A = this chain, B = another copy of it.
Amino acid sequence: MLPDPDKKTVLDPFGTSVVADYERLYKEFGIEPFNPLLSKVSNPSFYMRRGIIFGHRDFDRILNAMQKQEEFAVLSGIKPTGEFHLGTLMTAKEIIHFQKQGAKTFYCIADVEAYEDNKIPFEKSEKIAVDNVADLLALGLNPKKTYIYRQSKETRVKDLAIIFGRPVTLATMKAIYGERHIGLYLSALIQAGDILLPQLEDFGGPKPTIIPVGIDQDPHMRFTRDIAQKFRRKYKFILPSSTYHKLMKGLDGSPKMSKRQMNYFTLHDSPEIIAERISNAFTGGRATIKEQHELGGTPEICPIYEICLFHFVEDDDEIVKIYHDCKTGTLLCGEHKKQTIDRVLGFVKEHRRKKKMFTDEARKILQLEQ
């Protein structure tokens, strides 16, 4: 695939993804394709331009607010269970983008969910959260314009969960989350509270809110939008909007990065481990160099190409060149891995340098003692 100069999309939005069945998402779940809106976005993000954000719900509402310079909010969060990895990095960049477009910014440390779902005690998640917030600040989130909070300490969110619980049937919960313990269902209600928090009177009342998420998070959005609808009269909620990004493959070529398979790296891994993981990664290359020269590689299935596309090659023309060089057999996997290791280690080194300066501030934001 080559870039089409008439479209802002530089790459085929469906070119690399684990979500094979987009048509089903559009038809059955009511997610809208993002592409038709792209030309209306005055300053599209990296992920929008590259088609990594491929779908949305009610993004028109956000677009409208941005165009008219009306108030809108962006919310995201992290489950403080470990270090920033390439998935959390993606969401972080997305909210920073919306912050730069003028969104009131909310960032939730989902420590209740970490406890209910992963059994992480609050004393432990507190420490992890400091690290996560320092990452965010190093990435460029403006703390002066962001409300960063822990679920366990935010009374309004807990109270919303209590209020939202009344009309939610067990059947609904089981359909979304399966047969789980009650704490997990409770954390789902709290998450709905997070998403609707920016619309409370304390934060200036109802407003369009954008939640940038991975496509795997859509059930939460549907659940929360349903709750927003049920409590529309009481709170005047505007149904929250969402954008959906594709999920990254594991470095072993499997459909998902996962802790269990160790097929990814975090921003805290040592340079040696990062280099090793990339070196050992699956690629879209051919069996022999000769074949690759003749037939070219398959970047669509290649996790190395994907981490470049999603994170480490900022310039659109440059990523198109890499795609092209791979396709034509000019760029071989060994060389591409080497380049990618250099890019990643360069980024990580610089990120860590910045991050060190933000640890104290992160503790202060989370109201923890120094």
A residues neighboring B (CB under 8 Å): 112, 115-116, 119, 152, 155, 158-159, 161-170, 173-174, 179-186, 189-190
Question: In the complex, what distance in Å separates the CA atom of A161 from the CA atom of B187?
Answer: 11
Identify the closest chain B residue to A169 (Cβ).
Answer: B181
CB pair B162 A186 closer than 8 Å = yes
Question: In the complex, what distance in Å separates the CA atom of A174 from the CA atom of B119?
Answer: 23
Identify the closest chain B residue to A190 (Cβ).
Answer: B162
CB pair B165 A181 closer than 8 Å = yes
Contacts of A167 in B (CB 8 A): 181, 183
Question: In the complex, what distance in Å separates the CA atom of A184 from the CA atom of B119?
Answer: 23
CB pair A112 B162 closer than 8 Å = yes
Judged by DSSP, the binding face of A is helix
> Which 4 pairs between the two chains have the least Cβ-Cβ distance?
A165-B183, A166-B183, A168-B182, A165-B182
CB pair A179 B170 closer than 8 Å = yes
Identify the closest chain B residue to A117 (Cβ).
Answer: B166
CB pair B189 A186 closer than 8 Å = yes
Question: In the complex, what distance in Å separates the CA atom of A115 from the CA atom of B160?
Answer: 13
CB pair A181 B170 closer than 8 Å = yes
Contact of A170 among B152, B159, B180 (CB under 8 A): B180
Contacts of A119 in B (CB 8 A): 166
CB distance from A270 to the nearest CB of B (A): 34
Question: In the complex, what distance in Å separates the CA atom of A183 from the CA atom of B173?
Answer: 11
Identify the closest chain B residue to A180 (Cβ).
Answer: B170
Question: In the complex, what distance in Å separates the CA atom of A184 from the CA atom of B170?
Answer: 10
Contacts of A165 in B (CB 8 A): 116, 181-186
Further pairs besides A162-B183, A167-B183, A182-B186: 9, Cβ < 8 Å = A115-B162, A115-B166, A158-B159, A162-B190, A165-B185, A168-B181, A170-B181, A185-B185, A186-B186
- A185 and B182 in contact (CB under 8 A), knowing A116-B165, A119-B166, A162-B158? yes
Contacts of A183 in B (CB 8 A): 162, 164-168
Question: In the complex, what distance in Å separates the CA atom of A119 from the CA atom of B169?
Answer: 14
CB distance from A367 to the nearest CB of B (A): 15
Question: In the complex, what distance in Å separates the CA atom of A214 from the CA atom of B183?
Answer: 28
Query: Which of A155, A162, A181 has the most B CB atoms < 10 Å from its CB?
Result: A162
Q: 15 A-B pairs, CB-CB below 8 angstroms?
A: A116-B162, A119-B166, A158-B158, A158-B159, A165-B181, A165-B182, A165-B185, A166-B183, A167-B183, A168-B181, A170-B174, A170-B179, A170-B180, A182-B185, A186-B189
- A166 and B181 in contact (CB under 8 A), knowing A152-B159, A159-B152? yes
Contacts of A168 in B (CB 8 A): 181-183
Contacts of A163 in B (CB 8 A): 115
Question: In the complex, what distance in Å separates the CA atom of A288 from the CA atom of B112?
Answer: 68
CB distance from A183 to the nearest CB of B (A): 3
Contacts of A169 in B (CB 8 A): 181-182
CB distance from A190 to the nearest CB of B (A): 8
